[in-house]
Amino acid sequence: MTFDVARIRKDFPILERTVRDGQPLIYLDSANTSQKPRQVLDALDDFYERHNANIHRATHQLGEEATAAYEGARVTAAEFIGAAEPAEVIFTKNVSEGINLVAYSMGNASAMGLGGRFALGPGDEIVITEMEHHSNIVPWQLLCQRTGATLRWFGVTPEGRLDTSNIDDLITERTKLVALAHQSNVLGTINPVRAIADRAHAAGALVLVDAAQSVPHMPVDVASLGADFLGFTGHKMCGPTGIGVLWGRRELLEEMPPFLGGGEMIEDVRMERSTFAPPPHKFEAGTMPIAEAATLAAAIGYLGEVGLPALREYEHGLVGHALEALREIDGLRILGPAEPVDRGAAISFTVDGVHPHDMSQVLDERGIAVRAGHHCAWPLHRAMGVQASTRASFYLYNTHEEADALAEGIREAQRFFGAGGR
């Protein structure tokens, strides 16, 4: 089936509305959160209208249906990323929670004196990268503060690629875990996860992959990436907010102590102490976002029907076109790869004489939604020598004409602020 963007756009009701006094919406903020197709919206309604009940503990028909929807979503998510079994899929509310789950579990293993590969102490090291989202930096900083372990990181090159030149110095027998983004939310750079994972494993370290920006846009297989943990989130892939996945290898999840305690995650509770359910339930305390999980399955189904390989190919052409249009603008600097090679659909840039906040304001007046600021990647912006940037991020419903409208809007901002562009 060929990729037909006009047909796809019809699936997204929000693209029919206008903004800022009747202008068509040009939504270029999908790396922030994506829009939702009718099929996904209908799935959410269908769950609440026909199947709503709590799961696992309701002894009635609706409870059975809700449980089947929730556990069915786990199977769908597992197949989607090539997990060995559904029990390796833990539902979380987002990638941040998934990363915190691993970090706090390691902190608990350390505090409980459990030893093993999850316990950290002085002399142990966690390795991240300078291009991470804050959600893949701060939890590790906190973990290191709690345990006395040391945080280290890969830098970035001026072109916005990961600088792996000092990998031998960074990944050593002291490394307990390497955590990195599959794709940068700012630069669009796709990182060589497999090569880094192989080095990490050779040193005896675990590998956590933040796949929030890659899973919505390309086929991702946890085994071929070489990951031990991988997180992704529903709302960036046509699904609802409040639901994400942390995938982990079964043997690791078995070994890890819990993160959040509460209902449904236990095996037996006594006043003195408790024992815990096997994974994945050990990590799913309390009533989970049931409708959201069921709806995530619909989003995965939608992307499956579109076809991720076709989507990726379409976006590749679209990003190439957008990069070309932006490169023609005087005074515009693209942060990250300027060619569509090993890069995704997020394009961040600065324009001489126009602050990103002012740029986004001018674009918004023309109905073009982008993001301005540091995009939760402040260290990366410092490394690139800029205070902030404007980010246009594309998805399956965006068109070449919208990329052209972005370029024209940027020129309008230059004219308005007298920034000397042509």
Partner 1 sequence: MRLESLYQEIILDHYRHPHHAGLREPFDAEVRHVNPVCGDEVTLRVTLKDSDAGPVVADVSYDALGCSISQASASVLADLLIGRTVGEGMKVNDEFLALMQSQGEGEPDEDVLGDAVAFAGVSKYPARIKCALLAWMAWKDATAQAMGR
Q: Does 416 bind partner 1 (CB under 8 A)?
A: yes
Query: ∠ at Cα 357 (356, 362), nearest 5°?
Result: 95
**What is the SS3 assignment for 210?**
strand
- How many beta carbons lie within 10 A of that of residue 312, not counting itself? 16
Q: Return the H-helix or E-strand segment holding 179.
A: strand 175-181
User: What is the rounded CA–CA span in Å between residue 348 and residue 81?
Assistant: 28
Nearer to partner 1, 99 or 362 (CB): 362
Nearer to partner 1, 7 or 382 (CB): 382
Nearer to partner 1, 63 or 373 (CB): 373
Q: Does 417 bind partner 1 (CB under 8 A)?
A: yes
Residue 99 phi, psi dihedral angles, 5° rounding:
-70, -40
Least CB distance to partner 1 at residue 198 (A): 36
- Please report, for residues 5, 83, 407, the alpha-carbon distance to residue 401 in angstroms, rounded to integers and kept in the order given: 12, 38, 10
Least CB distance to partner 1 at residue 133 (A): 14
**Per-residue binding letters, 338-377, with partner 1 (x by CB under 8 A):** -----------------xxxx--xx--x------xxx---
Closest residue by Cα to residue 172 from 202, 207, 138: 202
Looking at residue 93, the DSSP 8-state letter turns out to be: S
**Is 238 a known active-site residue?**
no
Q: Does 25 bind partner 1 (CB under 8 A)?
A: no
Q: Looking at 387, 401, 404, 420, which residue binds partner 1 (CB under 8 A)?
A: 387
Looking at residue 342, the DSSP 8-state letter turns out to be: S
User: What is the rounded CA–CA span in Å between residue 118 and residue 106?
Assistant: 5
Q: Looking at 7, 13, 20, 251, which residue binds partner 1 (CB under 8 A)?
A: 20
Least CB distance to partner 1 at residue 180 (A): 23
Can you name the residues that pair with 312 across neighbouring β-strands? none
Q: Looking at 2, 6, 17, 21, which residue binds partner 1 (CB under 8 A)?
A: 21
The residues in 125-184 that bind partner 1, with binding defined as CB under 8 A, are none
Among residues 43, 376, 403, 419, the one annotated as catalytic is 376
Query: Contact positions toward partner 1, by CB under 8 A?
Result: 20-21, 355-358, 361-362, 365, 372-374, 378, 381, 387-388, 416-418
Catalytic residues: 376
